[in-house]
């Protein structure tokens, strides 16, 4: 007979420990059972999943995207019928910046002027008109559509066609996006650049410095003073489009007051706390996300048993 747990948590990054353990504590306070899948028990967990000896009612996977060894576990969990927070098919689709660019535009979200170019493996030459290049402006940004994590492969401040030609050969099978550089407004000496989290139904706003990567929680007074309610609406729309339960996005407000979604979906959020890391997420917001996850598990488990 299978041993059922309310929430399975897969993780492997050492800096995820506090976040994962905080989710467990929040779940336990609601009477929920949890099970951590870690490198040391991964093989045994896979064996139990195959044998039907363990089942998870819900599951949050923060490992298989970066650790190939966790992929067999991910496939088994997906087939088992567990309710996945961030379903794997939604993650795969959201990783493609070209796809998300078009889908967000269709949903009415402002995005940077962007030119999507074919993979080098499919088309060696770059076909760009002078009008397109002029509209792109200088400097511009070059980014692969599917290479994610810490800005990997992204070139800021590009100026020339040569840089485009050279860049797309680094990931020859990937599409590339050429994007205009979005210049944020200044609001009382602060750049109007925000990282916004969608976490299990909560929308959480942070000022985010693009150079230092330091966060600061947007206060209720600032939200009212600067008219930032639109940030909640945008991230909720991205949730609907992407199908993800837990992600972040970057949104800038330009000098003319336009809200522009700059970095569409970060599907695996860096959840290091600010009390331990200068560029970490404010501790109070980390706690909100941990309790939000526990609440989502409780709601799902209660609905299944109702």
pLDDT at 150 over 80: no
Between 175 and 20, residue with greater pLDDT: 20
Q: How many CB atoms lie within 10 A of CB 137?
A: 11
Cα dist from 306 to 33, 299, 303, whole Å: 18, 10, 5
Q: What is the mean pLDDT of residues 94-116?
A: 93
Mean pLDDT of 122-149: 76
Tell me: pLDDT of 30 over 90: yes
Residue 152 has what pLDDT?
61
What is the pairing mode between strands 246-253 and 259-266? antiparallel
pLDDT higher than threshold 60 for residue 103: yes
Query: Does the pLDDT at position 51 exceed 90?
Result: yes
If you average pLDDT over residues 281-292, what whole number do you get?
98
User: What is the tens place of the pLDDT at every residue in 239-280?
Assistant: 999 999 999 999 999 999 999 999 999 999 999 999 999 999
Which residue did the predictor score with more confidence, 171 or 139?
Answer: 139
149 pLDDT exceeds 70?
A: no
Tell me the mean pLDDT in the region 143-161.
Answer: 72
**pLDDT of 115:** 86
Least Cα distance to 45 among 10, 16, 13 occurs for: 10
Residues 6 or more apart whose CB falls under 8 angstroms from that of 302 comprise: none
Give the 3-state secondary structure percentages of the chain, helix then strand then coil, rounded to 5: 40, 25, 35
- What tens digit of pLDDT does each residue of 175-196 get? 888 899 999 999 988 999 999 9
Would you place residue 123 in the very low, low, confident or very high pLDDT band (cuts 50, 70, 90)? confident
Question: According to the model, what pLDDT value does residue 304 have?
Answer: 83
pTM of the model: 0.91
State in Å, rounded, how far the first CA of the chain is from the last one: 22
Paired tokens of 277: 């890391």
Q: Say how far apart CA 138 and CA 159 lie, in whole Å.
A: 6
Q: How far apart are CA 285 and CA 287, in angstroms?
A: 5
- 3 state DSSP class of 145: coil
Q: What percent of the chain has pLDDT over 70?
A: 96
């Amino acid at each position: 007979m299978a041993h059922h747990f309310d929430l399975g948590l897969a993780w492997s990054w050492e800096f995820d420990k506090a976040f994962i353990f905080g989710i467990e504590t929040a779940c336990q306070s609601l009477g929920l059972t949890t099970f951590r899948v870690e490198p040391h028990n991964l093989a045994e967990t896979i064996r139990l999943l195959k044998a039907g000896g363990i089942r998870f009612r819900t599951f949050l996977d923060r490992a298989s995207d970066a650790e190939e060894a966790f992929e067999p576990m991910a496939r088994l969990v997906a087939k088992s019928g567990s309710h996945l927070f961030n379903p794997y098919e939604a993650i795969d689709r959201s990783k493609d910046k070209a796809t998300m660019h078009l889908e967000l535009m269709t949903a009415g979200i402002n995005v940077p002027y962007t030119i999507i170019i074919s993979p080098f493996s499919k088309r060696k030459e770059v076909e760009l008109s002078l009008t397109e290049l002029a509209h792109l402006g200088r400097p511009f940004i070059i980014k692969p559509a599917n290479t994610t994590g810490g800005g990997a492969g992204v070139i800021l401040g590009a100026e020339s066609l040569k840089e485009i030609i050279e860049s797309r050969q680094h990931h020859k099978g990937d599409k590339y996006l050429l994007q205009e550089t979005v210049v944020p407004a200044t609001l009382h000496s602060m750049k109007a650049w925000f990282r916004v989290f969608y976490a299990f139904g909560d929308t959480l706003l942070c000022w985010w410095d693009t150079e230092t990567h330091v966060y600061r929680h947007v206060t209720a007074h600032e939200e009212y003073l600067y008219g930032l309610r639109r940030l909640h609406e945008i991230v909720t729309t991205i949730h609907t489009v992407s199908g993800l339960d837990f992600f972040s996005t970057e949104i800038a407000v330009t000098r003319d007051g336009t809200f522009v979604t700059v970095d569409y979906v970060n599907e695996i959020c860096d959840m290091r706390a600010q009390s331990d890391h200068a560029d970490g997420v404010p501790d109070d917001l980390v706690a909100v996300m941990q309790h939000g996850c526990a609440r989502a598990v409780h709601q799902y488990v209660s609905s299944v048993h109702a």
